[in-house]
Amino acid sequence: MTYTIADLKILDQVMNDIDLQLKDFNYIIPYEYNQEAYSPRLVNLLLTTCIVIERYCKILQIECQLPEPDGNGGIRGVLRNLDGNGVLANMKWTTSFNEEFQPFDGTYAWWQMYNDTKHEETFSITDVKYRQVVTAILALHSLQRLAWAKLTTNWTKLNGMDLLDIEKWDEESDLSWSTRHGLFHTYSGPKKER
């Protein structure tokens, strides 16, 4: 099975709704002063966000022709395969008040919270914190950018390189954007350390 831009556009609609929900929540409870806040709305945002992350992981796994993760790796295994050359680990977001996020720092605390929320009988809404939800949403946007780059085909044809190989990234070929995105306005794509 292969995916098309139409598949990504459907996911974009869900992401737009996630972003709108985050914006509305941030208006009521500003993230800048409430990173440890919890709410049933944050639980719903986390669940929705991670479901879409699962879909993007599947799209990237198939389109980049990555193997199934070993054992019971699940999405963490897919993320490890996607990040085999450090592309995800080097993605960073910065807030308008200069707080840096690195959604793929290897801990995947936001993913663990999602799994705990889905499976644990002792789950409490107080466990899901604002910062984890924001980090998950930024992970989602990072994966979205990779998927769009991969499926628009001009990445491979234009740059003649593997999207997931950090060794081949440079200033001219990276996916960096300086953009205003809700309360998070700067994205720094993966860059090879110089």
User: What domain range is 86 assigned to?
Assistant: 5-188
Looking at this protein, which amino acid is placed at residue 10? I
Tens place of pLDDT per residue across the chain (194 aa): 788 889 999 999 999 999 999 989 999 999 989 999 999 999 999 999 999 999 999 999 988 888 888 877 789 999 988 888 888 888 888 877 778 889 999 889 999 999 988 887 667 889 999 999 999 999 999 898 888 878 775 555 444 446 776 666 554 444 444 434 455 545 555 555 54
Can you name the residues that pair with 101 across neighbouring β-strands?
93
pLDDT at 174: 46
Residue 69 lies in a domain: yes
In a domain, 193, yes or no: no
Q: pTM, whole model, 2 decimals?
A: 0.86
**φ, ψ of residue 36 in degrees (nearest 5):** -100, 10
Do the beta carbons of residue 138 and residue 46 sit within 8 Å? no
Residue 73 lies in a domain: yes
Q: Is residue 59 domain-resident?
A: yes
Dump pLDDT digits (tens) for 62-99. Answer: 888 888 888 777 899 999 888 888 888 888 888 777 78
101 located within any domain = yes
Residue 194 lies in a domain: no
| Number of compact structural domains in the chain | 1
- Asked whether 118 and 22 are in contact (CB, 8 A), the reply is no
Residue 94 belongs to a domain: yes
